[in-house]
């Protein structure tokens, strides 16, 4: 931590800050420039509330030198992690495609999806049983009934399964039926839920919050890993910006940024990022080319009849074509 | 709902959409222009999935004519609401100030705060017992111990009390000790929590999410009211933008916007909006002038020693001065 | 300037950076912590390209200690400035209202506006003769004809006049007819235009760019002042965010932020900030309460007939009422 | 254009709007629903000021059915355009790489860049002679001297050349030396400059503004094409968001969005989008995969010594490696 004093800070103010730091058992390194004095802090900074120094007399600003996340930080764990879900591995050597409907609507809908996405090459089946919807009057999900279909689909096809959980109740229920949990964008900073998912020990996919910085996202992952669960996959799904031509703005740079800051795998969800079916294919290729570890794609037997997110869902034929078209890109990236 | 067809949409496509609409028991009004055909939909639109029409052949876009929130909508409830919390009324005739520390840290800290903010004119005591923190390694709150101090502070001073709840567990606990619940920005779309708060029947303050639109915010309030709880106060606390000179950007226009769309009271939190103590006073005056129904302000006996958000907290003296300076603005606004 | 090295930076890397700094004639202060080494740089940093140090081996990041703007910086000019335009003074003791139509449309339109806004208490007449329009097919302004009406309106009413300039050609023309120039949001970083306005010596109002930070805005002002023209008034007119309930989002916090960083006056434009007539009055009051030095308001004899921005324009009656309602707020702020 | 009336709009209000529309020589189609009345407008809408209808009594909102840009609109020109610059073609069959230094600094710097980028496979040389810099105290460019080096570099290597112009003066000068003009992000809505570039007839690359929507961007291109110049290439270079891990946020979805709305070619600038050298390569691959028509990349003989944007510039070796790595992606995209 570095404390930058104002140009006109008095010696008294500098001495006061110095004492505050030393009182917390830390050492200071003073550096007096022509214009400003800078106070470097050495030692375990968790003993010191950054924000309180910030309002001491004469302090201009504080610069944090080290990140607040530790266990997900690449600095302390340079090798990229691989997360195993059933028979699927998500990490630097593979390109994993998770596919399925936005919401589970019926036995037939889900089972037909499962068969088709497996045939096309996906290895994880997605499907929502608890739907966080902007309006209370929209379809909210089949809950346990949907989870039972997921369990059956996973059993009969061999696919791994993933389902979003939106509360501790949903988590307890889902943990009995699916192989991987998903934390959605709206719950990225639902810290109680993150801790509980951490305690569950189940593989988890953590979507980026709608307006979350990369740092906040990695700190959210730190909540999970600090409870002992390191089976975490990140998912970039678009952020909120002023642009309305797409539902969200896919921050594709987040893939190399995360790669440089963390060892966790990261996949891309082009369906939610754009909200437009026609853009899913080009963005899926871009994700493979940029170095993502996989994709999450929405597929529906009849997008026109979907109870949620129809416009961004691919038909079975479109999905099969996408997977075929993606193949050479995945090979170019040196993945299987 | 209005369906706008593409310029080159075929008659077959128009017929297909028309049939989709009619199949849902709704009527259509066709309007053929030189360039495009427009299909107006008449009837109960909840029978129709907007998104599925959106991907029918030849459809360009769908325009929603009516808002998805009903019970919080001013159109159907033109008179402004007043929410009563203990002896305090929050609504069009009053200007209510909620004040207290960001986090409850000790018995003495909270009790001294309670006395001082009461003396200065606040009528609601705020204090966090469950702190949602970006990093898992930051102070997370005193939980039940903190709530007990809140209960005591409310009892001895007569102030109403408010505390943020971040989970069902926190909600159950807080409901036994405080007069009003707070849903924080990070949980604005934690729909399970919203429903439960709705069922609790307790007065609730719903903060705007970091990147929530006014429409999403009112839909979140609709989750609460649709469970039968209409004691809702909204709180604008700054939104996330590209500007970094302040922690968030206070969207002061949200006050008149909410006033025109909803009957719910709205207050402003200048402390979280800016993160800078020196900006609290001018923004508090602006909030009174723009027509807000009150303020939430962070106050701490010793901001330099605070375990959370020290830089934005006012000292007792600063708060007393603020309340005195605000007085003529409140009177100008015709409130008490 | 402070250079923060990576945790694993070698002594060789540290030595190399040290030499780079010293080669530019500057001194270094080394501070070795447990985790990282920090290199403070002392002396005239303009000799050193920050960005090149940034890519030297082992460098983590650079922290700028001092702002790049000097002449508009409050640190070096603590007293608030007052800008004089004809008989009007814009600064800490006054509250100046500029009003008039978005675009000048005819002799009668402008002259009637001038009389009415003067009667209501405005002292500066605004009116656009060169309109920067998103589409090339929208009305682009009356140009010199409009300026002649401005000159006449200023002469007959005694009001000072202001007109936006969008090019050097417009600047040369406008300088012959009006008292004050305006740089619009779209041209805030049109640096050639800024320099030329600086050389003109005329009072200038610099609107904030649609997505400009406060720092970029002050640097744009520095372009003008560095050419010798210190008659600069800033104008906050809303920034672009994800929220669509208003045309832009008024960043009202920018007023106290600018106040703390610069000595230049700052006014607020609630008409462009919201794009909605009904929100102009509450935001105008908020601007007075927050400490702004004045307002810019759009007024039109017949908003329904306006060629530009009708929905945000006030009628004469609405403007007169606004001015009357504002009066006690201006007095409370201790201004005339 | 569709006019949506408020639920409670009176028959008188509906009649008034109807008359306003008909008075402009247009026809109306009335559609009365249970809740609202909708008025469809048929005919040449340029005769009607949308905004004025918007404030007529009883009007809730106006929905624009057709885009305001015509000549760059794919609807009226379905075939993708190819722009020829010297011997290079930019369009659907090619993948064009423009490379060179951010700023031209010296004869040797530019000539060595030209040779190396040509050797690696680039066909257009970029180099800034007029630099729009945030601070007036930063290096502003070599101007005519730089342009002379560009002319020489183009002549000796056979590369086409491109240079940003920031004013009419710069445009006049650059037009005598280079093959293609660039409008930078800060000048995307400098409409005077756009019109003049339109009149010049020279090929032009139009960068997206920092906070411009796709619609505003295409309207800016319409300014150029409406002056008779159709040799326009768009360039996505990142937009401003709240995320600070990269300098800007590359909106890679803009490539398929533009593809669906316009026939103009679009290239991607990963150097400015991220500001970080290490992210250029993955994003360049993503751009090829997503379907862009080319790239603009910053290259410098000695990034550590660059006078501008060193941290994002590639060395010659890095650029050669990038071009080799890109090759299979370009082939996969079916381009040469």
The band of C27, judged by pLDDT with boundaries at 50, 70 and 90, is: confident
CA distance C270 to C295: 8
CA C333 to chain D, closest CA, distance in angstroms equals 33
Comparing D38 with D325, which gets the higher pLDDT? D325
Strands B160-164 and B124-126: parallel
Chain C touched by B305 (CB under 8 Å)? no
The band of C50, judged by pLDDT with boundaries at 50, 70 and 90, is: low
Query: Taking a C-beta distance cutoff of 8 angstroms, is the pair A125, A151 a contact?
Result: no
Comparing A332 with D139, which gets the higher pLDDT? A332
Residues of B within 8 A of D45 (CB-CB) are none
Overall average pLDDT of the C172-189 stretch? 97
- The pLDDT score that the predictor gives to residue D34 is 66
CB contact under 8 Å between C240 and A242, yes or no, is yes
Task: Spell out the SS3 assignment of A120-160.
Answer: HCCCEEECECCCCCCCCCCCCCCCHHHHHHHHHHHHHHCCE
What is the number of H-type helices and E-type strands within chain A? 11, 14
Q: Give the torsion sign (CA, B69, B73, B75, B76).
A: positive
Task: Spell out the SS3 assignment of A250-276.
Answer: CECCHHHHHHHHECCCEEECHHHHHCC
CB contact under 8 Å between A189 and B134, yes or no, is yes
CA B336 to chain A, closest CA, distance in angstroms equals 33
Quick one: angle between helices C254-261 and C280-290, nearest 10?
30
The band of D220, judged by pLDDT with boundaries at 50, 70 and 90, is: very high
Residues of C within 8 A of B214 (CB-CB) are 243, 245
Residue C58 has pLDDT above 90, yes or no: no
- The pLDDT score that the predictor gives to residue A232 is 98
The band of D278, judged by pLDDT with boundaries at 50, 70 and 90, is: very high
- The pLDDT score that the predictor gives to residue C28 is 83
- Token reading at D210: 């920092």
Residues of A within 8 A of B277 (CB-CB) are 55
- The pLDDT score that the predictor gives to residue C294 is 98
Which of A181, A274, A190, A283 lies closest to A233, judged by CA?
Answer: A181
The band of C53, judged by pLDDT with boundaries at 50, 70 and 90, is: confident
- The pLDDT score that the predictor gives to residue B332 is 95
| ipTM confidence score | 0.92
The band of B93, judged by pLDDT with boundaries at 50, 70 and 90, is: very high
Point out the residue among B34, B38, B41 whose CB comes nearest to the CB of D43. B34
- The pLDDT score that the predictor gives to residue C24 is 81
Chain C touched by A291 (CB under 8 Å)? no
Between B101-115, B272-286, C177-191, D303-317, the lowest mean confidence (pLDDT) is in: D303-317
Overall average pLDDT of the C250-271 stretch? 98
Between B52-66, B180-194, B251-265, B319-333, the lowest mean confidence (pLDDT) is in: B52-66
Residues of C within 8 A of D189 (CB-CB) are 132, 134, 186
Quick one: angle between helices D214-225 and D254-261, nearest 10?
50
Point out the residue among A36, A75, A244 whose CB comes nearest to the CB of C65. A36
Query: Taking a C-beta distance cutoff of 8 angstroms, is the pair D268, C239 a contact?
Result: no
- The pLDDT score that the predictor gives to residue C44 is 65
One-character DSSP codes across B135-178 = STTS----THHHHHHHHHHHHHH--EEEEE--SHHHHHHHTTT-
- The pLDDT score that the predictor gives to residue C45 is 65
CA distance A321 to A281: 9
- In chain D, what is the greatest distance between 2 CA atoms, to the nearest angstrom? 76
Comparing B317 with D7, which gets the higher pLDDT? B317
Residues of A within 8 A of D209 (CB-CB) are none
Q: What is the dihedral angle through the alpha carbons of B60, B66, B71, B72, rounded to the nearest 10 degrees? A: 90
Which of B284, B256, B252 lies closest to B270, judged by CA?
Answer: B284
Q: How many CB pairs under 8 A join B and C?
A: 111
* Mutate: best of D3, D191, D195, partner C, most C CBs <10 A: D191
- The pLDDT score that the predictor gives to residue B284 is 98
Comparing D95 with B309, which gets the higher pLDDT? D95
CA distance C249 to C242: 9
Overall average pLDDT of the C138-154 stretch? 94
CA A204 to chain B, closest CA, distance in angstroms equals 18
Query: Taking a C-beta distance cutoff of 8 angstroms, is the pair B192, B183 a contact?
Result: no
Query: SS3 breakdown of chain D: % helix, strand, coil, rounded to 5?
Result: 40, 20, 40
Query: Taking a C-beta distance cutoff of 8 angstroms, is the pair C265, C294 a contact?
Result: yes
* Mutate: best of A23, A68, A136, A276, partner B, most B CBs <10 A: A136
Q: To which H or E segment does residue C308 belong?
A: none
- Cα-Cα end-to-end distance for chain D: 43
Chain C touched by D189 (CB under 8 Å)? yes
The band of B51, judged by pLDDT with boundaries at 50, 70 and 90, is: low
State whether residue D85 is helix, strand or coil: strand
Q: Considering chain B, what is the average pLDDT of its residues?
A: 92
Residues of B within 8 A of D66 (CB-CB) are 7, 35-36
CB contact under 8 Å between C256 and B242, yes or no, is no
Overall average pLDDT of the D316-325 stretch? 98
Between A197-211, B15-29, D121-135, D280-294, the lowest mean confidence (pLDDT) is in: B15-29
- The pLDDT score that the predictor gives to residue D36 is 74
Quick one: angle between helices A316-332 and A107-120, nearest 10?
30
- The pLDDT score that the predictor gives to residue D25 is 82
User: How many C-beta neighbours within 10 Å does residue C176 have?
Assistant: 10
Query: Taking a C-beta distance cutoff of 8 angstroms, is the pair D54, C305 a contact?
Result: no
The band of C71, judged by pLDDT with boundaries at 50, 70 and 90, is: very high
- The pLDDT score that the predictor gives to residue D106 is 95
Residue C311 has pLDDT above 90, yes or no: no
- The pLDDT score that the predictor gives to residue D39 is 84
Residue D55 has pLDDT above 80, yes or no: no
CA C49 to chain D, closest CA, distance in angstroms equals 7
State whether residue A333 is helix, strand or coil: coil
The upper half-sphere exposure of residue D286, i.e. CA atoms within 13 Å in the direction of its Cβ, equals 33
State whether residue B259 is helix, strand or coil: helix
Which of D121, D159, D106 lies closest to D319, judged by CA?
Answer: D121
Residue C43 has pLDDT above 80, yes or no: no
Residues of chain B with pLDDT > 70, as a percent, come to 96
Between C143-157, C227-241, D127-141, D213-227, the lowest mean confidence (pLDDT) is in: D127-141
CA distance D157 to D312: 25
The band of C22, judged by pLDDT with boundaries at 50, 70 and 90, is: confident
Comparing D243 with B50, which gets the higher pLDDT? D243
CA distance A64 to C3: 13
Comparing C23 with C7, which gets the higher pLDDT? C23
Point out the residue among B167, B216, B277 whose CB comes nearest to the CB of A192. B167
Residues of A within 8 A of C48 (CB-CB) are none
Beta bridge mates, D267: D235
Point out the residue among C34, C40, C60 whose CB comes nearest to the CB of A38. C40
| A201 Rama class: left (phi>0) / alpha (psi -120 to 50) / beta | left
The band of D88, judged by pLDDT with boundaries at 50, 70 and 90, is: very high
CB contact under 8 Å between A63 and C4, yes or no, is yes
The band of B235, judged by pLDDT with boundaries at 50, 70 and 90, is: very high
Overall average pLDDT of the C50-79 stretch? 83
The band of B49, judged by pLDDT with boundaries at 50, 70 and 90, is: low
- Token reading at A116: 């088709």
CA distance C218 to A80: 43
Residues of chain D with pLDDT > 70, as a percent, come to 96
Query: Taking a C-beta distance cutoff of 8 angstroms, is the pair B277, B303 a contact?
Result: yes
Residues of D within 8 A of B25 (CB-CB) are none
CA C6 distance to own-chain centroid: 39
CA B127 to chain D, closest CA, distance in angstroms equals 29
Strands, DSSP E only, in chain A? Answer: 2-5, 27-32, 37-42, 59-63, 83-85, 88-90, 96-100, 124-126, 160-164, 180-183, 204-207, 232-236, 266-268, 294-298
Overall average pLDDT of the D117-121 stretch? 98
Q: Which residues of chain A have pLDDT under 70?
A: 33-35, 44-51
């Amino acid at each position: 931590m570095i404390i930058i004093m104002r140009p006109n800070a008095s010696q008294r103010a500098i001495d006061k800050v110095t004492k505050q730091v030393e009182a917390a058992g830390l050492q200071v390194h003073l550096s007096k420039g022509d214009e400003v004095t800078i106070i470097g802090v050495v030692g375990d900074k968790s003993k010191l509330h950054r924000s309180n120094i910030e309002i001491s007399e004469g302090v201009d600003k504080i610069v944090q030198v080290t990140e607040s996340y530790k266990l997900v930080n690449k600095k302390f764990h340079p090798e990229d992690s691989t997360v195993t879900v059933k028979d699927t591995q998500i990490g630097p050597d593979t390109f994993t495609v998770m596919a399925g409907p936005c919401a589970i609507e019926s036995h037939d809908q889900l089972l037909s999806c499962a068969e088709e996405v497996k045939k096309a090459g996906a290895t994880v089946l997605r499907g929502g049983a608890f739907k966080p919807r902007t309006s209370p009057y929209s379809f909210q999900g089949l809950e346990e009934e949907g989870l039972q279909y997921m369990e059956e689909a996973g059993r009969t096809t061999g696919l791994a399964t993933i389902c979003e959980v939106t509360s501790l109740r949903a988590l307890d229920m889902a943990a009995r039926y699916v192989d991987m949990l998903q934390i959605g964008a709206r719950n990225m900073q639902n810290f109680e839920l993150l801790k509980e998912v951490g305690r569950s020990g189940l593989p988890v996919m953590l979507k980026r919050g709608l307006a979350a910085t990369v740092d906040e996202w990695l700190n959210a992952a730190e909540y999970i890993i600090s409870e002992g669960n390191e089976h975490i996959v990140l998912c970039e799904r678009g952020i909120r910006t002023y642009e309305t031509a797409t539902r969200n703005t896919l921050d594709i740079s987040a893939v190399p940024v995360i790669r440089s800051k963390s060892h966790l795998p990261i996949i891309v969800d082009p369906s939610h990022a754009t909200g437009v079916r026609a853009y899913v294919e080009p963005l899926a290729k871009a994700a493979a080319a940029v170095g993502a570890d996989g994709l999450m794609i929405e597929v529906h037997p009849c997008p026109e009849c979907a109870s949620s997110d129809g416009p961004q869902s691919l038909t079975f034929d479109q999905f099969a074509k996408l997977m075929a078209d993606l193949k050479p890109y995945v090979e170019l990236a040196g993945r299987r």
